[in-house]
Structure 1
Amino acid sequence: MEIYPIVLAGTIFASVGWFIFSYNRLAEYKARAHNHWHQINVQLQRRYDLIPNLVETARTTMNFEKSTLESVVQARNMAARTLQGIKGNLTAEKMEALFQADQLLTSNMHKFLAVVEQYPNLRSVENMRCLHEELVSTENRIAFARQAYNDAVTRYNESQMRIPTKWIASCTEHAPMEFYPISSEEVKNSFR
């Protein structure tokens, strides 16, 4: 009996098994990264939904600070539109646009909260305190979701760099994913 056909069959079987295993691992890592992106999406939407309530609560007390309120609302609307425009298509350009819109919103929220600090009667309003606490909680959730997403993207992208999985990634159109960036300004300034 000749051993060559058995070795050939074993090699083919092992190669196909290895291909399937590697492809499934890439698909799993990509699915995890997308799941974490959806968690960021949920938390960003939660933030965008809180902001109008904060603004409305402040509007009744801050009659002469309309420009601050309007800039927060405009930045919120722009960020929400940008987030809606992504719809699961995480290109580098769309991720950068979301990052820029989110930075503008964060900057305007810091200005808004600085103005709120100047109004002791507004700070004492129970609804404002609750909304502020909810916003801080949401910011923490966003930070956690962003870290989980970036960790998942790192694992996915690293798996594509290793040979032989790199070959499978190139054959099956598994492109590297984009990270969700964080600025040093955002790290220094929280909504606390």
Structure 2
Amino acid sequence: MNPRLNDLRHLPILALLLLSTLLAGCGINNIPTLDEQAKAAWGQVQNQYQRRADLIPNLVETVKGYAQHEQDTLTAVIEARAKATSIQVDASTLDNPDKLKQFQQAQDQLSGALSRLMVVVERYPDLKANQNFLALQSQLEGTENRIAVARRDFILAVQKYNTEIRTFPGRLWHSVMYSDLPIRETFEATSSNAEKAPEVKF
């Protein structure tokens, strides 16, 4: 067999490898990569809110032991927690602005109820000195900080994703291959001073 013909048989494979390298280098994978990063960042937001929700029953029980006359405040916290945990926004509903807004509002209501509970705690010095309560306070403060960081990371991930599908060459790849991936909503502050983590002081 002619060696030149043998070399020509490998030409399609070489062309395919070259084309794959060029496509990978020109950003064809950027959109799905950034989409997955935004979803992962949202997962972290949810994890931190769930961590806060998991702390609340212990917090309420500890407060209840010292502040039995504050039933209305404790009930408000429990109800706000129930509402906040009932609204879930996962990867399949992340692009629904109404669902995201409902989630944000429920979390804001829970933050407000927790703030009112902390005001009540000021009236009970024995409670403020309780070791279990102090441990919960520390965990809650840490969680509020983690929520702020997770929200910031999600906002940045969404910004990168949205920028990619609105600029060249991402805009081209989006229209040709990824038109089913929409511009994503970001996590906007819906309450006053929401950009700051709530202060938890006792």
Q: Report the TM-score, using the length of structure 1 for normalisation.
A: 0.86
Quote the sequence identity (%): 32
Q: How far off its partner does 1:170 sit? A: 2.9
Aligned pairs for 1:1-192 within 5 A: 17-18=22-23, 21-83=26-88, 86-88=89-91, 89-90=93-94, 91-171=96-176, 172=178, 173-182=180-189, 183-188=191-196, 189-192=198-201
Structure 2 vs 1, CA of residues 133 and 15 (structure 1 numbering), >3 Å: closer, same or farther? Answer: closer
Q: How far off its partner does 1:60 sit? A: 1.2
Q: How far off its partner does 1:16 sit? A: 9.4
CA distance in 1, matches of 2:25, 2:61: 55
SS of equivalent residue, structure 1 residue 187 = coil
Q: How far off its partner does 1:18 sit? A: 3.8
Q: How far off its partner does 1:21 sit? A: 4.3
Amino acid aligned to 2:44: Q
CA distance in 2, matches of 1:160, 1:35: 18
Amino acid aligned to 1:187: E
Q: How far off its partner does 1:93 sit? A: 1.0
Larger radius of gyration: 2
Q: How far off its partner does 1:32 sit? A: 0.8
Unaligned residue ranges in structure 1 (runs of 5+): 1-9
Amino acid aligned to 1:161: R
Greater helix percent: which structure? 1
Q: Which segment drifts farther, 15-24 or 98-107?
A: 15-24
Q: How far off its partner does 1:48 sit? A: 0.3
Q: Which segment drifts farther, 130-139 or 157-166?
A: 157-166
Q: Report the TM-score, using the length of structure 2 for normalisation.
A: 0.82
Q: How far off its partner does 1:15 sit? A: 10
Amino acid aligned to 2:188: P
Q: How far off its partner does 1:135 sit? A: 0.3
CA distance in 1, matches of 2:26, 2:46: 30
Question: What is the root-mean-square deviation in Å for CA atoms of aligned residues?
Answer: 2.1
CA distance in 2, matches of 1:79, 1:170: 36
Amino acid aligned to 1:186: A
